[in-house]
Amino acid sequence: MGGINSLHGSRSVENIPRKQSRTRSEGKKNVSKFATLRKKFSRHRSHKTRNYVKHIRELTQSWNTHQINALVEEYESMSALKDLSIQTSLARPRVRTLKEDLLALYKGQCFTDVVLEYQGIEFHCHRFILSSRSPFFQMLLAKNPGHRVCVNIDNPELTVDIFRMMVHYLYTGDVPTIDTALDNLEILMKLGEEFGTPNVLEHDMNALLNTNKFSDVTLVFQDNFAGVTQNKELVGADSSFELQCHKGILAARSPFFHSLLTKLSKEKDLSKPLRLVLDEKIIPRQYGRVLLQCMYLDCVDVSSVIRWASGSDERSVEDPHKLLTVPEVAMEVYEIARFLEFATLEQGAEDIIIQELSPMSLLTTLEWSDRSHGSHWVYRQTMHYLREEFLNMVNLDVFLNLPKRFVIETLKSDFLQASEQDVLLAVIKWGEAQVYKTIYPSDGKLEHYTSSLKRSIRRKEIDVKSLKQVLHGVLALIRVQHILPKDSSVLKAAIQQALLQKEMPLDIGEGERQQRSSWIRVKDDRKYVKPRLFAAYVDEAKAIMRERMVEEMEVVRLRMIRHSDMPDMVTSITSQYSTPDFEDGPPSVIANQLPYPDATTVKAMLSREKELKSYNQTQRAYALSLGDGRAVNHEVRKRVVREFGLPDVAVEVLRRAPKDTSKDFPGSQESLLLSQCSNEKLSFSSDTEPDVTLDVEAKKTTK
């Protein structure tokens, strides 16, 4: 069972009673739910800190306060960037709620089957909506089965505008408040008492789903056949499964069904009940109820689905009688949602996969989400989970079975939660496991790696040459400069095995000054490598800084002055920081594949970018003395393009577009936008995007 998390309150879906399922809730509940998901990916973890504390204290024992302060500031800058990175990773396109889809169905007059005429004004509506929402209209439409129905109400207070508000309320459960006088709302409440107050929208939608009242279409799930028929003889009762529903709901929620019904309306009379026969190879019958429940209630519940791996499924190769887990079921639901173009179901399935994420499902989720038909959003959350749980994962078989591309992607992160000595040890252990698999290929995956490999190592030493080949491209990602302690036995063993070259800039035992230079940023030092934002080191560095601050109160005063303009005064910070109107630089992607978005979309994206840059969290990242303005800009722009459903390389649109929205933008018919690199991952060099810098003196001169 799963709900749908969203980034903004406007994306929320009405709350359904918890007895039915978990849903996308509104308002504060939605914010709280999103905060819970974010907390899952960024929560503080307990570490075996005793050794880590000892290592960081040994490193800084000869440092002065200013040097420790520089390290802490580096960590604070990276922490602010990590917060932005988490927000960017969670960004998704906004999906429309049931209310919005029903309102669009009403305003678009799609597949209407009744025309209400009131005081000479026509209202094109749907019988199943009016009848299920209002006892008055249910009786009226039952007496008038024709297409056109005149509404005669002897009430002088019921004007056309009030009647329009009533219809709007029946479709959405909300009264339009724009340009609505208070007395009109009072009149509408009185009319509700006279004609019957409708139930909450989700209550009536649930009744429509479970009772099949006023249904006008039947979904028939059948093997080896897909088509549309009204001939019952073509559908065998023993081999098919049927579900009753409503054409209006199908058309409103799914562009696929909307296009299909539009095409059929030109060929057949849709006023009669329709039978849609679906091929179970594409949409299995087990997912019929899941699909309709999401359409009617905006919730996704797969807890009742029992499904075995099919013969054509890769999962059935190992075990042809394997029962699919909840994440695997959600993956199939996601693929069905993509086929039907049903975004609400897509994101609901994604949420279930992440909610069920665990070491047991990690490898399956990574491999599925990395495929072309997988979810990029799920891939980002799973990689984040792997980085956060790295220390726990390295002791499990799942880490030893990770493909090399996932190991490399994990080690690239500045936010990996492990010390460099732990990383080196884990990489060597992973490499030995890969060599072991080549020696004993019949064993397949290393289900019992620990005991069997140890026995193998005692009998036969791992071939160092093979190990170096396996670890090619991986060892280069280990930040050897930051391995602690100085006399690390793991590092010495790696050098003795020739896995690491002695000439590499280890900075271990090479003198006090050189040792500090690998941890502290030096101006114009392009060889500087950031230390990872490992929580145990960060916490201890801050503790050491607090101890030194007690001894040197002057440092406290200096830091308070330097950070007096931090994000508490967002307005003043925003006025001090600025980004260039046009950031020039060579394009970092290949041209002629991705069409340039239209002018309206680009303007909306620029507006959203400006809004995100005004947030406290973004301003904090800009305000930190060591904050990398280019990295902050990149994270903000990635979040924008993901919210608009574009690939990551579309950040080029924002980076190269003029910031003055009054200027004209190139239309979609003009030259194509620079397009995506492999895996839609954009890389940008350090000199293509200038930093956001303080320009106080220039502003004073201008004034």
pLDDT per position as a tens digit, 25-64: 444 444 444 445 544 544 444 445 678 999 999 999 988 8
* pLDDT tens, residue by residue, 172-230: 988 776 555 555 567 667 667 667 777 889 999 999 999 989 999 999 998 764 444 44
- Asked if the model's pLDDT at residue 696 lies above 70, the reply is no
What pLDDT is attached to residue 91?
95
Q: For residue 368, give the nearest of 328, 404, 402, 399 by alpha carbon.
A: 328
Fold equal for 98-199 and 215-224+238-312+319-356: yes
Tokens matching residue 676: 């995506």
For residue 503, name the pLDDT band (cuts at 50, 70, 90): low
What whole-number distance in Å separates Cα of residue 216 and Cα of residue 274?
6
Tokens matching residue 562: 């330097």
Mean pLDDT across 513-537: 78
What whole-number distance in Å separates Cα of residue 454 and Cα of residue 436?
10
Task: Please state which of the ranges 166-170, 434-438, 699-703 shows the lowest mean pLDDT.
Answer: 699-703
What whole-number distance in Å separates Cα of residue 571 and Cα of residue 517?
36
What pLDDT is attached to residue 206?
94
What pLDDT is attached to residue 321?
61
CA 355, chain centre distance (Å): 12
Mean pLDDT across 235-264: 86
Average pLDDT value over all residues in the chain: 77
- Look up the pTM and report it: 0.79
Contact 505, 54 (CB under 8 A): no
Tokens matching residue 646: 């574009």
Mean pLDDT across 136-144: 91
What pLDDT is attached to residue 626?
64
What pLDDT is attached to residue 577?
41
- Asked if the model's pLDDT at residue 431 lies above 80, the reply is yes
What pLDDT is attached to residue 563?
54
Task: Please state which of the ranges 131-140, 290-299, 313-322 shows the lowest mean pLDDT.
Answer: 313-322
What pLDDT is attached to residue 12?
34
What pLDDT is attached to residue 656?
82
What whole-number distance in Å separates Cα of residue 246 and Cα of residue 214?
8
Contact 437, 446 (CB under 8 A): yes
- Asked if the model's pLDDT at residue 440 lies above 50, the reply is yes
- Asked if the model's pLDDT at residue 464 lies above 90, the reply is no
Task: Please state which of the ranges 452-466, 477-491, 529-543 shows the lowest mean pLDDT.
Answer: 452-466
Mean pLDDT across 681-697: 37
Contact 85, 632 (CB under 8 A): no
Q: Of 441 and 316, which is predicted with more confidence?
A: 441
Mean pLDDT across 492-510: 69
What whole-number distance in Å separates Cα of residue 225 and Cα of residue 221?
9
DSSP 42-106: H------HHHHHHHHHHHHTT--HHHHHHHHHHHHHHHHHHHHHHHHHH-------HHHHHHHHH
For residue 527, name the pLDDT band (cuts at 50, 70, 90): confident
* pLDDT tens, residue by residue, 343-388: 999 999 999 999 999 999 999 999 999 999 999 999 999 999 999 9
Is CATH 3.30.710.10 the classification given to domain 98-199? Answer: yes
For residue 452, name the pLDDT band (cuts at 50, 70, 90): low
Q: For residue 86, give the nearest of 27, 47, 35, 29 by alpha carbon.
A: 35
Tokens matching residue 677: 């690199």
Q: Which CATH superfamily, name and number, covers 215-224+238-312+319-356?
A: Potassium Channel Kv1.1; Chain A (3.30.710.10)
Q: How many CA atoms lie within 13 A of 444 on its CB side?
A: 3
